[in-house]
Structure 1
Amino acid sequence: MPPPLLERHQVRIIGRLDAPDTLVFVHGFGTSQQAWQAVAQAFESSHRLVLLNNAGCGAGAGLGAQRHRYLNLRAYAEDLVAIGAALDLQGATLIGHSAGAMICALAALRQPALARRLVLIGASPRYLDAPGYVGGFSDADLNALYRAVTLNYEQWAEAFAPVMMGNPDRPALALRLADSIKSIPPEDALTTLCAIFQSDHRADLAQLRQPTLLIQAHEDAAVPLSVAEYMLDKIPHARLALIEAAGHLPHVSAPQQVVEAIADFLAVQPLATPP
């Protein structure tokens, strides 16, 4: 039986178990490890893969009495570091999406030996606008979001998902995202949203020492291109892959482009992603 920590986060280890390189996938808000299915499949024959669910997500228990701990992203990063320690991971490639991207970055800062490289997809160190910085959201935007989540969570999820997913010609993608969001208890979702949208990790970027790939979709309703360019400027060893994809979840809507960007960064030949 797995240790309670690994069981709580539904940690799965798949792929080539004896591979010298390990890829760790960390999802963003509203999704679970299932969001990585197409991307992970492309690396199964060449890498050891670790997939997990962040606290309060997936089929595991909700945040419950620990909800107060998760009012900032550092708590999620501490979980990732603890998972790495439990699995004796060193020199892994951490691959994170959205909030998961910053969780990976913070984990790499907290335990540098854990991460050899970082892949950050749709990442943002701060979502709220500030003097001289365009994060993409105003105070009024966030107040409206919190109010909508509180008043009618399911209705908000059904409206939020299509905006984040983009690709209106493929409505099934947004429907799946909405269902995934609605599977999270409203109180947990609000806690996580506060941790994400109230965060400001701009000062942490310059401390990263790992080679870092930033993957940014051409059209992203949550993260403007200017944010990716800001991160590129602040992270010492970063490169930017601007991919032909729309929406904030390109690993779901355009997995082949994401796989190609990661494979180029890792200098490996991946399997083709399923159509």
Structure 2
Amino acid sequence: MTEAPIPSWQEHGEGRRAIVLLHGLGGNAGLWGPTLPALAGYRVLAWDMPGYGASAPVEPGFPALAAALGRMLDAAELERADLVGHSIGGMVALEFALTWPERVRSLILYASPPAFGGRDPAFRERFLADRLAPLEAGRSLAEIAPQVVGRMLGDAPDPAAAPAAIASMAAVPEGGYRAALATLVTFDRRDDLGRLDMPCLVLVGEADPLAPFHVMHWTASAIPGARMAVIADAGHLAHLERPGDVNTMLTSFLDRVGAD
């Protein structure tokens, strides 16, 4: 029997407490560079999601992605960690926290709703068709990245945000991107949010078109004791657009959790 693959990760810093960073659909482990200064004093692990970077793919679905995260924690000899998940990475973090809550010290859901879209299957089909159409027409991820990233950003982002996000998306393997899209549209954990009992922060860009404020506000209200933080003028990539603001919010939450 083939052994289940362990995701690849980048590691930064040292500390008794571990923070795990889970990137979004067009991201990778290296896209967290602007976030790292806020996490000095922690052991920080940033993964390449299965199918991305050096990480081998796994079977489709969020249970398989959450199990892969567990294998990564085991390989890193971590019984417990704080999870920071962006977009689809937040969905993986939420799936993991609901399945293995004893391994999650705190949970940060960043630009990550608890379900994809509405309950209408036609919406999912339209979304997939729209995202896949350029690839089916023979265009590469590098060719479509500027347009996709441009739709995600808020007003007046940091000048480094768009180039970093475009380069990251351009480097995503097409097979991994297609698999992530197909998995994304299956997610729905809305009815399970009330079971979360670890400290939670819901982080949202004020102008995020993909994880809108009203959805994230509802998410925070459905999680017992959750805190919410809003990044003014930011879109879906707030940690690149407004890194200073995001870092302050992360530090404040993590320090508070550490003091509890």
Q: TM range, normalised to the smaller chain?
A: 0.7 to 0.9
Q: What's the % identity of the aligned pairs?
A: 26
2:106 matched to which residue of 1? Answer: 117
Q: What TM-score do the two structures reach when normalised by structure 1?
A: 0.81
1:273 matched to which residue of 2? Answer: none
Please list, as runs of the form range in 1=range in 2, the aligned pairs for 1:204-219 lying within 5 A after superposition: 204-219=192-207
RMSD: 2.4
1:24 maps onto 2:20 in alignment: yes
The count of corresponding residues between Structure 1 and Structure 2 is 250
Counterpart selection for 1:265 from 253, 256, 259: 253
Question: Which residue type is aligned with residue 41 of structure 1?
Answer: P
1:153 matched to which residue of 2? Answer: 140
1:227 matched to which residue of 2? Answer: 215
2:87 matched to which residue of 1? Answer: 98
Aligned-residue offset at 1:206: 2.1
CA–CA separation in structure 2 for the residues paired with 1:80 and 1:261: 25
2:85 match: secondary structure: strand
Q: What TM-score do the two structures reach when normalised by structure 2?
A: 0.86
Counterpart selection for 1:87 from 76, 82, 88: 76
Where does structure 2 lack aligned partners over 5 or more consecutive residues? Answer: none
Aligned-residue offset at 1:14: 2.2
1:101 match: secondary structure: helix
Counterpart selection for 1:199 from 187, 199, 202: 187
2:219 match: secondary structure: helix
Residues 80 and 245 of structure 1: CA distance in aligned 2, closer, same or farther (over 3 Å): farther
1:188 match: secondary structure: helix
Aligned-residue offset at 1:139: 4.7
1:56 matched to which residue of 2? Answer: 51
CA–CA separation in structure 1 for the residues paired with 2:229 and 2:98: 23
CA–CA separation in structure 1 for the residues paired with 2:89 and 2:25: 8
Residues 41 and 103 of structure 1: CA distance in aligned 2, closer, same or farther (over 3 Å): same
Aligned-residue offset at 1:138: 6.5
CA–CA separation in structure 1 for the residues paired with 2:135 and 2:186: 16
Residues 61 and 21 of structure 1: CA distance in aligned 2, closer, same or farther (over 3 Å): closer
Contact 1:205/1:234 (8 A) holds in 2: yes
1:35 matched to which residue of 2? Answer: 31
1:272 matched to which residue of 2? Answer: none
2:39 match: secondary structure: coil
1:206 match: secondary structure: helix
1:220 match: secondary structure: coil
Contact 1:77/1:107 (8 A) holds in 2: yes
Aligned-residue offset at 1:171: 6.2
1:128 maps onto 2:126 in alignment: no
Q: What whole-Å deviation, never above 9, does each CA across 1:154-199 have from its counterpart, x for those lacking one?
A: 3433321111234466665323322322222222211111111332
2:232 match: secondary structure: strand
2:251 match: secondary structure: helix
Residues 183 and 102 of structure 1: CA distance in aligned 2, closer, same or farther (over 3 Å): same
Where does structure 1 lack aligned partners over 5 or more consecutive residues? Answer: 132-136, 269-275
CA–CA separation in structure 1 for the residues paired with 2:198 and 2:167: 35
